[in-house]
A = this chain, B = another copy of it.
Amino acid sequence: MKKDVTTEEKIKEAAREVFMAKGFAGCSSREISKAAGMNVALVNYYFRSKSQLFQIIFQAAMEDFVTSMMTVFSSDQSIENKMRIFIEREFEFLSKHPELPVFIITEMNREEGCSIDHSCFFEKIASSGIFNECAQAQAEGKMRKINILSLTLLIMSNCQYPIMARNLMQGIHGLSDEEYSANLILHKQNVTDMLVTYLFPTQTNNKI
């Protein structure tokens, strides 16, 4: 047979789109199969059930998520520069995949949802050596002493929330898509300034 895009991948692609947009509970098997342009039964022929298909999609989404971090952490830069580049990349990445954070958070909260071990993601990030690098910088007084969770939260909060809450913010502030996108660029700069100033309090950074 041989095709440029195999059926299995067509399903995965469609499932990813539909799951991300509507969540596990918000869509049906038929909706996915229709998006993939085929019969319902095929979805269960390749993946045993809707749940199993979902697990695969979710796992891949988490993978993407972490991978996007790794490229920066593993780079040959000062820790402050890594921070700047990471924020830059995170805004760029999330602008391309805006549903990803809400998707992951929502499905993590689902009771029957993904029962995979998530600590592997932590280990993957840890293997980049970024945490050791932080500890060293903190010991040398180059970096503010906060624990890893707080550090993670500070970065994730300020990068992800502005993307996640887009519709809410546009609704509240009455902004068009273009206006919000423009403001997002300004906000990214504010976030970078704030985080770098807070985390790396040097004489230069403390200037107003």
Q: Are A186 and B147 in contact (CB under 8 A)?
A: yes
Tell yes or no: A3 within 8 A of B by CB.
Answer: no
CB contacts under 8 Å to B, within A58-83, are none
| B149–A153 touching, CB < 8 Å | no
- Copies of this protein, total: 2
In the complex, the 9 A-B pairs of residues with the closest C-beta atoms, listed nearest first = A118-B171, A157-B161, A25-B26, A194-B198, A108-B167, A201-B208, A157-B157, A25-B25, A150-B187
Chain B nearest Cβ from A60, distance in angstroms: 16
A56 at the interface (CB under 8 A from B): no
Is B172 touching A161 in the complex (CB atoms < 8 A)?
Answer: no
Q: Is A194 touching B154 in the complex (CB atoms < 8 A)?
A: yes
Among A4-12, A85-93, A99-107, the stretch in contact with B:
A99-107
